């Protein structure tokens, strides 16, 4: 990430409260430069550099890039003294509104004592008027209620400050799902081009490369997030649910239970097309890729299963009987 100058002039308040905040800022700056080991110094040092740590940047950057934002570390002048604070700024490539991200250790947002809350209160004077700021804190699901109330007061004064739920951000990253992050940030997500379509052998249906990518991503996420089974065992058991004809089973058993193996499995299923006409099992009339996607639906939570359920119905990937059963279980439009 690049270090960019930031010449925005924060202008949020002009009241007597600013005088008190200026005094607090001088105190914080004095603590930062001291050699004291007190809790006050720990808090001051934690807020001296508010930019996102490298590992969190690596987690966020791919998702923000797909939302058409580029990330940079910038130095903002604190509108109380002559100091600066580093933050992370996400700039949209289409010229829309910028977003700011800050990292605040959880020990500060969990304990709103005079030291922590007083130091955090200085952030109100750091950002441009009407800025949108998102804070991240490792393993923090929600800040203490005292901070929630403080952020509401900031909102009335023109600063939109939100603490993101750590588990939600982490989940969006692990699933490589920019849509989840877009919902958290309340920004629009451009619908990606689906790319070329792949015909499913033996049927009139086809499926896009983009959709197949979603299937691969979800399959591997399911395999690696299983607590009871290793990925290889999880994928082996999933395939066993598909009742493939014997010759197919002899082929699929050679596919490794790895991320590359998932890619091979999806490509193999598309190439196989529909179950043979001689097949008389529960997947009669279904496609191999449809059977795999059905397992994704049945093994996912409500927030994930919907798009794969719609994928099956849109492309008619299951035989009539199997599809009716799925609709009965999961509902349909």
Residues 161 and 272 in one domain: no
Residues 140 and 23 in one domain: yes
Confirm whether 133 is domain-assigned: yes
- Write down which residue in 161, 185, 209 finishes a domain: 185
Number of structural domains (the chain) is: 2
- In this prediction, residue 97 carries a pLDDT of 85
**Do the Cβ atoms of 125 and 53 come closer than 8 Å?**
no
Residues 169 and 105 in one domain: yes
Distance between CA 316 and CA 246 in Å, rounded?
A: 24
- Write down which residue in 159, 185, 211 finishes a domain: 185
pTM: predicted TM-score of the whole model, two decimal places: 0.52
pLDDT tens digits for 177-212? 888 898 889 887 655 555 678 888 877 778 888 889
pLDDT tens digits for 234-260? 999 999 999 899 999 999 999 998 999
Confirm whether 326 is domain-assigned: yes
Give the domain extent around 249.
197-330
For residue 41, the domain's CATH number is 3.40.1350
Residues 201 and 113 in one domain: no
When pLDDT is cut at 50, 70 and 90, the band that residue 5 belongs to is very low
- In this prediction, residue 39 carries a pLDDT of 52
- Write down which residue in 185, 220, 241 finishes a domain: 185
Residues 40 and 159 in one domain: yes
Q: Span 205-221, mean pLDDT?
A: 88
Confirm whether 130 is domain-assigned: yes
Residues 23 and 129 in one domain: yes
Q: How far is CA 193 from the centre of its chain?
A: 20
Confirm whether 210 is domain-assigned: yes
Sign of the Cα torsion 60, 123, 163, 181 reads negative
Closest to 90 in 3D by CA, of 200, 214, 210, 178? 178
Residues 206 and 95 in one domain: no
Q: How far is CA 315 from the centre of its chain?
A: 27
pLDDT tens digits for 56-67? 999 999 899 888
Residues 8 and 94 in one domain: yes
């Amino acid at each position: 990430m690049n270090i960019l100058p930031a010449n925005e002039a924060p202008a949020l308040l002009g009241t007597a409260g600013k005088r008190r905040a200026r005094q607090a800022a001088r105190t914080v700056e004095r603590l930062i430069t001291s050699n004291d080991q007190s809790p006050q110094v720990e808090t001051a040092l934690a807020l001296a550099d508010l930019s996102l740590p490298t590992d969190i940047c690596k987690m966020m950057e791919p998702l923000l890039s797909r939302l058409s934002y580029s990330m940079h570390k910038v130095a903002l002048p604190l509108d109380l003294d002559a100091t600066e604070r580093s933050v992370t700024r996400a700039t949209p490539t289409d010229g829309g509104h910028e977003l700011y991200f800050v990292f605040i250790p959880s020990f500060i947002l969990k304990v709103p004592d005079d030291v922590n809350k007083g130091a955090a209160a200085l952030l109100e004077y750091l950002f441009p008027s009407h800025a949108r700021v998102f804070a991240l804190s490792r393993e923090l699901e929600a800040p203490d209620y005292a901070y929630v109330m403080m952020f509401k007061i900031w909102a009335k004064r023109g600063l939109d400050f939100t603490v993101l739920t750590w588990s939600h951000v982490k989940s969006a990253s692990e699933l490589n799902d920019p849509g989840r992050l877009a919902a958290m940030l309340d920004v629009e997500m451009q619908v990606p081009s689906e790319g070329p379509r792949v015909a499913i052998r033996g049927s009139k249906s086809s499926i896009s490369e983009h959709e197949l990518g979603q299937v691969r991503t979800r399959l591997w996420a399911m395999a690696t997030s299983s607590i009871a089974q290793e990925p290889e065992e999880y994928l082996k058991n999933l395939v066993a649910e598909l009742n493939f004809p014997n010759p197919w089973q002899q082929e699929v058993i050679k596919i490794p239970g790895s991320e590359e193996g998932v890619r091979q499995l999806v490509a193999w299923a598309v190439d196989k097309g529909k179950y043979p006409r001689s097949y008389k099992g529960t997947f009669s009339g279904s496609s191999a890729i449809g059977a795999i996607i059905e397992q994704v639906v049945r093994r996912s939570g409500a927030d994930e299963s919907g798009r794969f359920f719609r994928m099956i119905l849109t492309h008619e990937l299951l035989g009539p009987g199997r599809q009716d059963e799925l609709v009965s279980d999961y509902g349909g439009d």
